[in-house]
Structure 1
Amino acid sequence: MKLMSYNILNGAKDTLPLVIKAIKSESPDYLTINEANTFASNNNEILDKVAKELDFPYFDIALSGEYDYHVAVFSKYPFLEIHKLQPLARACLVTRIKTEIGELTIASLHLTPYTEDLRHPEIDLITKFQKKYVNKILMGDMNSLSKYDGYDSKIIKTFNDMQIKKFTTGGKFRFDAINKIMSVGYYDSAFEMKKNKDYTAPTSINEYSAHSNMRLDYIFLSKSLLNHLKDYFVIKNNITKKASDHYPITIELK
């Protein structure tokens, strides 16, 4: 079973064919899309179109708490449950599905981009909701850094005001959002596969304006799923470097 998480930059307004091509080449069984802007417009017109082109029979969307940064999910498996959690600055959609490796509860989320402190209550909301389930997955753009990724503090001097607020306090990196997720029983699939130094943003779309190479997109698993984790990848190729400002990530479960 393959799961993919992909932030497609403002709904991939000008690059949606590339995004679809990138996803098709990986053929995921479960897909989370962050920044599904306009997907819900005109009675879910783009949401329906994407699902049809990618051959996903099951799909849904959670609307953003502010602006248009929705979270969309697409699945080959029927949804046994669907929950749309709020309040969040962006969105979180939780589903329960039955697969060949058992029932999974998957939280597809996009944490607030503003500050680390503002991400804490969103993490609390999501992890407390998932607590009652056994086989749990958290996936999406966390807008947060991991202490295990070896960031050099010297790059803070190159940050603009937005990046300083987003990733630091008092001139030092903040890692406590990811620490919080891991402290309540979630395991970082990239770290487990020793691939956590591979950045997920930026791409060639914004390599000069956004930020230094950073891993912002994650797929976390509960301990019960670690034995099923086969691999983790950041999908980097000539298509994905032009399709969005983030690279898609995938995991394979066996």
Structure 2
Amino acid sequence: MTLDLITWNIKTGGGGGRLDAVVALLKRECPDVVALQELRDFARHDGQRMREVAEALGMVAHLAPSAFGQPVAVLVRPPLRVASRSSVRWRLHHAAAAVEMPTSAGPLTVVSTHLNPFWPYRRLREARWLAHRYRGPLTVIAGDLNALDPHTAHTERLAALAPLFRRRHLGADGRPDTRAIEALGGAGFVDVWRAAGEGDGLTVPTTRGGGREFSNCGMRLDYVMARPELADRVVRARVIRGDEAEWASDHYPVAVELDLAAAS
């Protein structure tokens, strides 16, 4: 079997009429699993908005609340079945939602998370903790990691940012801080984009969705990080552009196709 996964920060819950565009794009793409971030107001009224979006997509949702009002979620499309679920709130600036599903290749765990947007060291600590907690052989950590790729030159892009926003991505030595992604790599997670990505991979900002805190040159802040056993099964990774993706959020969605056929 193949499995299509999308991760997307939809910017403050898709307010201002953008949520309909988010749903329209996801309906068209029809992924098997979706990791969503910045789900403001989705937990209100006993999760009514989350239920409405899940029903519109024909999926089952697991929502993890956030102390700062930006929940995250994993949505699963039947016949995939949620075998177990968990939420992390107190160790993270935002949250993490994790779902385990039986597949022909074994139990698959998908974690949707949104790492600290302001402080590189706290972002590093969050990445380390998540990598330690979720480390099964078929595990994905996906979401807005707010972190820089250690294999890319960032000086020029960061120079285009206002000082307030540039500080979010600099270490104590004034250099681009890439430690969160390095920590995940050191824990055995593979950056799927580097393994099978198409195009430049930049996920922010969109052309009409705002994002003044991002460089005009573009940045890659949204990742799918997979354990090696799962990374070997990646068929394709791409950033979804055009149509609603240009204005429904300040982040583009990232789509990954996995081959989960049982080992012979």
TM-score, normalised via structure 1 length: 0.93
Specify the code of the residue in structure 2 equivalent to 1:189: V
Deviation of 1:99 (Å)? 1.9
Pair 1:236-2:237 in alignment: no
Change beyond 3 A, Cα 1:47–1:194: closer
Deviation of 1:115 (Å)? 1.5
Pair 1:214-2:216 in alignment: no
The residue number in structure 2 matching 1:189 is 192
- Structure 2 gaps, min length 5: 260-264
Give distance in 1, aligned partners of 2:20 and 2:197.
Answer: 32
Pair 1:11-2:13 in alignment: yes
Change beyond 3 A, Cα 1:116–1:161: same
Alpha-carbon deviations, 1:204-250, whole Å to 9, x = none? 23557231100000001111113311100100012100110000001
Aligned partner (choices 115, 133, 140) of residue 111 of structure 1: 115
Report percent identity of matched pairs: 25
Secondary structure, in 3 states, of the residue corresponding to 2:49? helix
Pair 1:71-2:69 in alignment: no
- Structure 1 gaps, min length 5: none
Contact 1:156 1:171 in 2 (8 A): no
The residue number in structure 1 matching 2:176 is 173
Output aligned runs, 1:150-161, within 5 Å: 150-151=153-154, 153-161=155-163
Deviation of 1:162 (Å)? 3.1
The residue number in structure 1 matching 2:95 is 91
Give distance in 1, aligned partners of 2:81 and 2:206.
Answer: 33
Across the aligned residues of Structure 1 and Structure 2, the Cα RMSD in angstroms comes to 1.6
Alpha-carbon deviations, 1:112-138, whole Å to 9, x = none? 10111011221122111113x221111
Change beyond 3 A, Cα 1:196–1:173: farther
Contact 1:190 1:196 in 2 (8 A): no
Give distance in 2, aligned partners of 1:220 and 1:157.
Answer: 27
Pair 1:32-2:35 in alignment: yes
Change beyond 3 A, Cα 1:234–1:48: same
Deviation of 1:155 (Å)? 3.4
Secondary structure, in 3 states, of the residue corresponding to 2:232? helix
Contact 2:157 2:219 in 1 (8 A): no
Contact 1:148 1:196 in 2 (8 A): no
Alpha-carbon deviations, 1:133-177, whole Å to 9, x = none? 2211110000001022333x1333332233222101343211111
Contact 2:196 2:236 in 1 (8 A): yes
Secondary structure, in 3 states, of the residue corresponding to 1:172? coil
| The 10-residue stretch of structure 1 (161-170 or 81-90) with the greater mean CA deviation from structure 2 | 161-170
Secondary structure, in 3 states, of the residue corresponding to 1:102? coil
Secondary structure, in 3 states, of the residue corresponding to 2:24? helix
| The 10-residue stretch of structure 1 (240-249 or 208-217) with the greater mean CA deviation from structure 2 | 208-217
Aligned partner (choices 188, 195, 205) of residue 202 of structure 1: 205
Give distance in 1, aligned partners of 2:199 and 2:168.
Answer: 20
Change beyond 3 A, Cα 1:114–1:196: farther
TM-score, normalised via structure 2 length: 0.90
